[in-house]
Structure formats: structure tokens, C-alpha cells
Amino acid sequence: MQENEAVREARLRELASRLFFKLETRGARFALCRDVDVSQPVRHDHLTLDEVEDVLNTWKLRGPHGG
């Protein structure tokens, strides 16, 4: 993994934590899970870092409640 990718992943992990997501590494892909303040658990699997960033930015715009 390149250094800038490691820094980016660390930044996204911090953002995920602030939005009550857990970011899991699955080989070269990632999974996002959230079960706080949602009626049903939210899960996104087989994501690239770009996709993780898109999902988290969408939730960030919606606010911590996700709606």
C-alpha cells in the first residue's frame, strides 16, 4: 500500500468513526457497517476506498442521523 493510501485510509477510518460506522478491511476491499441511530443495520460491502469516501461523504451531508 502506498503511503498516501495509508494516510487516506486512516482519514476515512476517523470519519467513519465520527459517523458511527465501523470500517473493516476485506483483502483489497472494505466494508462499512453502522447500527447506531438507524432502524436496521446499514452495511456496504466490497467497496474501494473511493466508494468508501463517497458513502461517508453522503452520510456526512445527511448528518449523523443519516436522514
| pTM of the complete model | 0.84
pLDDT recorded at residue 66: 55
**Amino acid present at 22:** K
Residue 50 has pLDDT above 80, yes or no: yes
Residue 64 has pLDDT above 80, yes or no: no
Q: Where are the domains of the chain?
A: 3-62
- Residue 1, Cβ neighbours under 10 Å: how many? 8
Residue 37, phi then psi, degrees to nearest 5: 60, 30
